[in-house]
C-alpha cells in the first residue's frame, strides 16, 4: 500500500497512527487550517506530529475522493458541514517514510486558497 493511501486511512480511522508514516525528522504542513479560521499548522519531527494527531479527544478526520498520482494526493476533508478540497505532496525517504508532507486546500465555490 502506498504511504499516501495509509495516510488517508490513518487520518480517517486511526489518527494516532499518522506519525508512524513519518521519518524522525519529518515535516508536516497543513494550510487548510486557515480556511476554518485557525492558524496554519506546521509540525517538525515525528514526536511533534504525533502530539498533533494523538491529542486527547481528537476525532478521526473523514476523507473521501482519494486520488493518488506518484507522490501527490488529491482528497476531500470533511470538517463539520464543510468539504475542503486538499492537495498533498510528499517527499519519501529510502525507507518509505515521509520526509515532508505539504497540503494546500480550498473550499469549492470560494475564491482563493491557502
CATH number at residue 74: 3.10.450.50
Q: Which residue has the higher pLDDT, 86 or 34?
A: 86
Q: Is residue 112 part of a domain?
A: no
Residue 60 has pLDDT above 70, yes or no: yes
Give me the number of domains the chain comprises.
1
- Beta carbons of 52 and 38 less than 8 angstroms apart: no
Tell me: the pLDDT tens digits for 64-112? 999 999 999 999 998 778 888 999 999 999 999 999 999 998 876 554 5
pLDDT value for 81: 82
Show the cell assigned to 8: 488517508
Q: Is residue 45 part of a domain?
A: yes
Q: Are 38 and 31 in contact (CB under 8 A)?
A: no
What is the mean predicted confidence (pLDDT) over 11-26? 96
The model's pTM: 0.88
Q: Is residue 114 one of the residues assigned to a domain?
A: no
Structural domain span for residue 52: 3-106
Q: For residue 111, is it within any domain?
A: no
Amino acid at each position: 500500500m502506498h504511504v499516501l493511501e495509509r495516510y488517508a486511512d490513518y487520518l480517517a480511522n486511526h489518527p494516532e497512527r499518522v506519525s508512524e508514516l513519518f521519518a524522525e525528522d519529518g515535516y508536516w504542513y497543513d494550510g487548510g487550517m486557515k480556511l476554518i479560521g485557525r492558524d496554519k499548522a506546521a509540525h517538525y519531527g515525528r514526536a511533534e506530529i504525533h502530539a498533533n494527531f494523538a491529542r486527547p479527544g481528537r476525532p478521526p478526520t473523514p476523507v473521501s475522493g482519494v486520488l493518488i498520482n506518484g507522490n501527490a494526493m488529491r482528497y476531500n476533508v470533511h470538517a463539520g458541514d464543510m468539504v475542503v478540497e486538499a492537495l498533498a505532496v510528499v517527499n519519501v525517504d529510502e525507507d518509505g517514510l515521509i520526509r515532508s508532507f505539504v497540503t494546500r486546500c480550498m473550499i469549492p465555490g470560494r475564491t482563493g486558497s491557502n
